[in-house]
Amino acid sequence: MDYRQIYQQKLTTAEEAVKIVQSGDWVDYGWCTNHPVALDRALAARKDELTDVKVRGGVTMWMPEICKAEDAGDHFTWHAWHMSGVDRKIAAKGMGYFTPMRYSELPRFYRENLEVDVAMIQVTPMDQHGNFNFGLVTSHLADMLDRASHIILEVNHNLPWANGMCRSEINIRDVDMVVEGENPPVAQLGAGAPPTEVDRKVAELIVPEIPNGACLQLGIGGMPNAIGAMIAQSDLRDLGVHTEMYVDAFVDIAMAGKITGRYKGLDRGRQVHTFGAGTQKLYDYIDHNPEVVSAPVDYTNDVRVIAQLDNFISINNAVDLDLFGQVNAESAGLKHISGTGGQLDFVLGAYLSQGGKSFICLSSTMTGKDGVLRSRIVPSLTQGSIVTDPRSAVQYLVTEYGIVNLKGASTWERAEKIISIAHPDFRESLIKEAEKMGIWRRSNRLPPVSL
């Protein structure tokens, strides 16, 4: 079969390709680093011809052209699977909305619940077998494309080819149109600010509890990256990786010789993830690297899969938590910040793993825009805050003041344990609130619990 000939037959311009979009359509932009660029610009140019075009995306790395115009919301509505800072700005314009989900369920949403009129995503150049790789994202894309009535690919020569376990490519035979884009640099997620003293203290509490041969999942943010940096400098060996998002910290750990995957019960010797975003260092490391493989999110985040990996260590962030042990990792009251993502899946899966541990970490305090220091540990979550991890699921909580294990603890034991890792300036006020709530016993003060 002459794949190049088929390619030439389907090759067109972005302007021609987006003419297929009609008012009222559901259009899918994919996920994160493979949102379209040239196609998005061409669709935005058709703004005045269209109304009620509903566009899906997630973990948006740059402002889509369709969202920039002052009257953009009269023509397009943005639906985010997971909110980034850009997604929050779109929502603030009144044209963007969040769709709640456990990330592991997203492929099934497409198989059973959703319609896709047009899908348009960035991909790598076609190989000699007629296949385009999804680059840094496997996630739910294959199931999304299976549902699409029309598929338009935008080729970007700068996207790394991420080896996939399965369903990480699409063949030219299954595509309607191909557009050769302008090959923009792949959007980068900055390394962020250097670890704070609080980040380092939390890392110092967690890293000693990671055994040799453990399988790691790191969330995004300062604390998980600080922990990753400390792991890279530690004496740990033969670590494995099975994670949702592949971040720069994994590259540092791997380059330090700490990752072999030798003891993984599944996918031995392979670092498994569903999407990646970070610096160019990460993109160069993933490109055609046989040790790093991408898989659909209903595999990477499946609690039943995670549970089969012994000594699974899950490390994630939180916005705040209350004295019942409810963890909010996605909103500040009614202000939406991110999403459930895979956090709950990994909290549950790590606990089911033989020797596994789930850590939710956060600084004990934050300073508001008004300069006032506030506790991240609160009596009860602020009205409108989302319970990402229910109290019944949480295992270890960590602040710079210690680690506590909530499994098997009654409501008063939970309150005492959680208060013990709060900032000292807020402990007495938290005790008073706990007394009002009927979950405090002064006769039994518990010290921070070590593992």
Angle at 346 between CA 84 and CA 260, to 5 degrees: 100
Q: Active-site residue 244, yes or no?
A: yes
Positive or negative: CA dihedral 258, 264, 266, 268: positive
Mention every residue, 6+ apart, whose C-beta is less than 8 A from residue 317: 219, 220, 221, 223, 224, 329, 360, 361, 362
Mention every residue, 6+ apart, whose C-beta is less than 8 A from residue 80: 56, 57, 58, 60, 87, 90, 91, 96, 97, 98, 99, 339
277 in Cβ contact with 33 (< 8 Å)? yes
Q: Rounded to 5 degrees, what are φ and ψ at 91?
A: -65, -35
Q: Rounded to 5 degrees, what are φ and ψ at 417?
A: -65, -45
Number of C-beta neighbours around residue 265 at 10 A: 17
How far apart are alpha carbons 349 and 345 in whole angstroms? 6
**255, two tokens:** 């380059």
How far apart are alpha carbons 154 and 170 in whole angstroms? 12
67 in Cβ contact with 90 (< 8 Å)? yes
How far apart are alpha carbons 322 and 356 in whole angstroms? 24
How far apart are alpha carbons 31 and 145 in whole angstroms? 12
**377, two tokens:** 């540990």
Closest CA to 168 of 128, 129, 141, 130: 141
Question: Over the range 165-189, which residues count as b (16 or more CB within 10 Å of their CB) and which as e?
Answer: bebbbbebeebbbbbbbeeeebebb
How far apart are alpha carbons 350 and 370 in whole angstroms? 38
Number of C-beta neighbours around residue 13 at 10 A: 14
Name the catalytic one among 65, 244, 400, 416. 244
240 in Cβ contact with 264 (< 8 Å)? yes
How far apart are alpha carbons 36 and 34 in whole angstroms? 6
How far apart are alpha carbons 201 and 10 in whole angstroms? 56
Q: Rounded to 5 degrees, what are φ and ψ at 378?
A: -125, 160
Q: Which residues are the active-site residues?
A: 244
